[in-house]
A = this chain, B = another copy of it.
Amino acid sequence: MLTYNLNNEKSPLYLQIYENIKKDILNSKILPNEQLPSKRKLSNHLCVALITVENAYEQLIAEGYIYSIEKKGYFVSSLIENNLYLHKKINQDNEVKQKIFIEKQKSNYFDLQSLEVDTSLFPFSIFSKLMREVISEKNKNLLTKLDSLGVYELRLAIKKHLNAFQGINLKEEQIIIGAGSEYLYSLIIKLLGYDSLFALENPGYKKISKVYNSNNVKIKYVDLDEDGIKVSKLVDVDVIHISPAHQFPTGIVMPIKRKLDLLKWASEKENRIIIEDDYDSEFRFKGVSVPSILSIDKNDNVIYLNTFSKTISPSIRIAYMVIPEKLIPIYNEKLGFLSCTVASIEQYTLARFIDEGYYERHINKMKNYYRKKKNLFFDLLKESKLNNISTIYYKDSGLHFLLELDTNISDQELIEKAFQNGVKITCLSQYYLKDSLIKEHVVIINFSLISETNFEKVIKILEKIIL
């Protein structure tokens, strides 16, 4: 019989019973289609009123955890086993099912498609220790209203970090904290105005394009040459959104010359702005970091963006941007009323994590880890039969590189066959606009999520498909 410790002083008894039974169902202690004790039996057993058990059962029925059969009793819902979404009949049922299906299968695939990062090496114990410290030291102060730009300590920590790593000197007022890059993209659009013409890279990161589209602004897609976005195509453009440190998907590292050309472009007309999206610049594997455009800008024309999603974890939801000094009063006027979107506890904790040197150490560790991983992949590729038909591009930066294959198999076929064989890949061609001059046979290798032990298997599968 179900036995639970109930406590009169906690929440209502029926809720406690309901919670306990639910937990047991979710933990498979009670199995699908198993019969529950009758209401009377359970009420006697738990020494509670009949109505209490009735209420608990009702709630469980309402939420779909159990069902009743007249004159027979109460049974655990059989769909629970799979997941909590399944007993719903809603329009997108199939979509949800499929999503869950894919989600579940994910682990069975070698995923070269995902842009997620490897969080397994993150010093979570340190981070949580700092968080506990913040909680006990700041205590109720954590409840006071936040500065709309973000917690001062965090902005100061970021300022110092940017100074140490990129030699950039900023004012704290230029730094704005937000809940992720996507949120900051939207802020930038609001800041620069809906009348601006925004140029995005073609090929480019699809999410950026989706955010701009969802904000209903004018977009122009601009082709890249081997140095990055083409300056000659920017005559009518007001704002460009680029990732010069390591463009996605091409991997292009923008040379200083193009950076200077873009700064020149920006200074030639009022209100021109360069948005420098520095999403994974920390992972430069050769030489030192390439200077950001922000660090060489003399004319206050760069909005710089970076995130802790790639270096720490996507679940931390902290990104920041640096706005030009000339835009500070405009920001205050237009958007100063907005509350900061990141909780205070996270902000203080991250500030300490940076200030106490953990962030730098973690980045260095990850850089070595990713470098080794990448090199292992290259070595295995060299030893494989693919070696003769492979060319690798842009291998010194970031968490992906390009693998060009000398083959006649179409990208579509390659992707499908890889999927059938348990490997998820994407090709460069998928990132171009429809009517562009598309480069085929170039596979994007996002290697961060896949474990080293599986590299050989992946290469064997690609061999099998292509050769």
**Which A residues are closer than 8 A to B by beta carbons?**
10-12, 15, 19, 22-23, 26, 62-64, 79, 82-86, 88, 90-92, 95-96, 116, 119-120, 122, 124, 128, 131-132, 135-136, 139-140, 142-146, 152, 156, 160, 163, 167, 169-173, 179-180, 182-183, 186, 190, 194, 207, 210-211, 214-216, 256-257, 260, 287-288, 291, 295-298, 312-318, 325-326, 328-329, 332, 334-335, 337-346, 355-357, 360
Please judge, given known A-B contacts A22-B167, A132-B132, whether A142 and B315 are in contact too, CB under 8 Å: yes
Do residues A317 and B334 form an inter-chain contact, with CB atoms below 8 A?
Answer: no
Please name all residues of chain B whose beta carbon is closer than 8 Å to the beta carbon of A10 when the two chains form the complex: 356-357
Please name all residues of chain B whose beta carbon is closer than 8 Å to the beta carbon of A325 when the two chains form the complex: 85, 88, 90-91
Do residues A341 and B183 form an inter-chain contact, with CB atoms below 8 A?
Answer: yes
Going nearest first, the 4 A-B pairs with the smallest beta carbon separation are A11-B357, A179-B341, A119-B143, A143-B313
Please name all residues of chain B whose beta carbon is closer than 8 Å to the beta carbon of A84 when the two chains form the complex: 152, 156, 169, 172
Rounded to whole angstroms, the CA-CA distance of A183 and B82 in the bound complex is 31
User: Smallest Cβ distance from A13 to chain B, in angstroms?
Assistant: 12
Do residues B96 and A173 form an inter-chain contact, with CB atoms below 8 A?
Answer: yes
Do residues B169 and A26 form an inter-chain contact, with CB atoms below 8 A?
Answer: yes
Partner of A340 from the list B79, B119, B216, B317 (CB cut-off 8 Å) is B317
Please name all residues of chain B whose beta carbon is closer than 8 Å to the beta carbon of A23 when the two chains form the complex: 167
Partner of A132 from the list B26, B135, B343, B344 (CB cut-off 8 Å) is B135
Do residues A11 and B337 form an inter-chain contact, with CB atoms below 8 A?
Answer: no
Do residues A145 and B339 form an inter-chain contact, with CB atoms below 8 A?
Answer: no
20 examples of A-B residue contacts, CB within 8 angstroms = A11-B360, A62-B257, A63-B256, A64-B298, A84-B169, A84-B172, A85-B171, A85-B173, A88-B325, A91-B328, A91-B329, A95-B332, A122-B143, A142-B313, A145-B314, A182-B339, A183-B183, A183-B341, A315-B344, A317-B340
Q: Who on chain B is nearest to A80 by CB?
A: B298
Please name all residues of chain B whose beta carbon is closer than 8 Å to the beta carbon of A86 when the two chains form the complex: 169
Rounded to whole angstroms, the CA-CA distance of A346 and B298 in the bound complex is 40
Please name all residues of chain B whose beta carbon is closer than 8 Å to the beta carbon of A124 when the two chains form the complex: 139-140, 142-143
Do residues B167 and A140 form an inter-chain contact, with CB atoms below 8 A?
Answer: no
Please judge, given known A-B contacts A10-B357, A11-B287, A90-B328, whether A169 and B120 are in contact too, CB under 8 Å: no
Q: Who on chain B is nearest to A298 by CB?
A: B83
Q: Who on chain B is nearest to A330 by CB?
A: B92
Do residues A183 and B179 form an inter-chain contact, with CB atoms below 8 A?
Answer: yes
Please name all residues of chain B whose beta carbon is closer than 8 Å to the beta carbon of A152 when the two chains form the complex: 84
Please name all residues of chain B whose beta carbon is closer than 8 Å to the beta carbon of A186 when the two chains form the complex: 186
Do residues B341 and A343 form an inter-chain contact, with CB atoms below 8 A?
Answer: no
Partner of A173 from the list B88, B163, B326 (CB cut-off 8 Å) is B88
Q: Who on chain B is nearest to A12 by CB?
A: B287
Known contacts A124-B142, A128-B136, A316-B343; 18 additional CB pairs below 8 A are A10-B357, A15-B357, A82-B298, A88-B325, A92-B173, A92-B328, A116-B145, A122-B143, A124-B143, A143-B312, A144-B315, A145-B314, A214-B335, A214-B338, A315-B343, A317-B339, A345-B346, A346-B346
Q: Who on chain B is nearest to A216 by CB?
A: B194
